[in-house]
Amino acid sequence: MRKQIAAANWKMNLTIQEAEILIDKLVSEDSSLQSNQTTIYGVPFPYLSIVLSTLEGKNKGFAAAQNCSERNNGAFTGEVSAAMLRSMGVEFVILGHSERREHYGENSAMLVEKLNRAFESKLKPIFCCGEPLHIREANMHNSYVEDQLKETLFNFSGSQLNGFIIAYEPIWAIGTGKTASTQQAQEMHAHIRTVLANHFGSSVSDSISILYGGSVKASNAKELFGQPDVDGGLVGGSSLVADEFATIIKSLKS
């Protein structure tokens, strides 16, 4: 059975003091995860150590980086490699977030390299895709997202993608308070699963967790996660508020 996942994306927010208070609160929440559920905290690089040590041995989730380099190692000042992250015990990495595509010029070719580095280091990617508003308004969203997947994930094998994680995040819904309707989310998630099934086979596509991202909140999580192809969420703003995110975790399907 594929995993149901509540993934936090703190982005470039919080001081270390605020981050410690937040992760401590979430870890002390009196709720345990079911065997098919996972919580992942995508935090800024300097906070990974503290989040890793707070989570250690508690069955309350995993840490994720929000990016990694497309290079192995060497003279690349300011970059962080997949191998470095893995060596400190980080399990996951968010790749291809629309903010990185938009502000840091990440394209499909670069993302293939980042995925390669992650797989080589046994760092599990949370791979983001999603369309901008003008594509949605032109009713081109299905083919747009399909192309994003073809240009990247189709370079890998079915066995590499077994149990993989994709986050569908319509750009017009990120940080805008505008959530895709449950129907829009389910339709796109079903489309993504069909695209993957046609290429990799249904046993691979059925194993892939497809998260919805874009203004997920405590008040809409249950309905979104209740859709058959929505396997949880990648959550920005609401993951910065302990009570909100705790409710989002509790909204996962069991």
Q: Residue 165: which residues within 8 A CB-CB, separation 6 or more?
A: 3, 5, 7, 92, 124, 125, 126, 127, 208, 209, 211
What are the structure tokens assigned to 149, written together? 């997947």
**Minimum CB distance to ligand PGA smaller for 135 or for 174:** 174
**Minimum CB distance to ligand PGA smaller for 74 or for 177:** 177
Smallest gap from Cβ 196 to ligand PGA, in A, equals 21
Smallest gap from Cβ 208 to ligand PGA, in A, equals 18
Catalytic residue among 97, 106, 131, 189: 97
Smallest gap from Cβ 178 to ligand PGA, in A, equals 9
Query: Nearest-CB residue to ligand PGA?
Result: 236
Q: How far apart are CA 202 and CA 115, in angstroms?
A: 22
Please name which of 161, 136, 23, 39 lies closest in space to residue 91, comparing C-alpha atoms. Answer: 39
**Minimum CB distance to ligand PGA smaller for 23 or for 235:** 235
Binding site for ligand PGA (CB under 6 A): 9, 169, 174-175, 213-216, 234-238
Active site residue 169: yes
Q: Is 29 exposed, middle or buried (0-12, 13-18, 19+ CB in 10 A)?
A: middle
- Rg of the chain over CA atoms, in angstroms? 17
Q: How far apart are CA 193 and CA 4, in angstroms?
A: 15
Q: Is 228 exposed, middle or buried (0-12, 13-18, 19+ CB in 10 A)?
A: exposed
Q: How far apart are CA 161 and CA 83, in angstroms?
A: 19
Catalytic residue among 91, 106, 131, 169: 169
Smallest gap from Cβ 220 to ligand PGA, in A, equals 11
Smallest gap from Cβ 173 to ligand PGA, in A, equals 6
What are the structure tokens assigned to 144, written together? 């747009």
Q: How far apart are CA 65 and CA 205, in angstroms?
A: 25
What are the structure tokens assigned to 86, written together? 């893995």
Active site residue 103: no
Active site residues: 97, 169
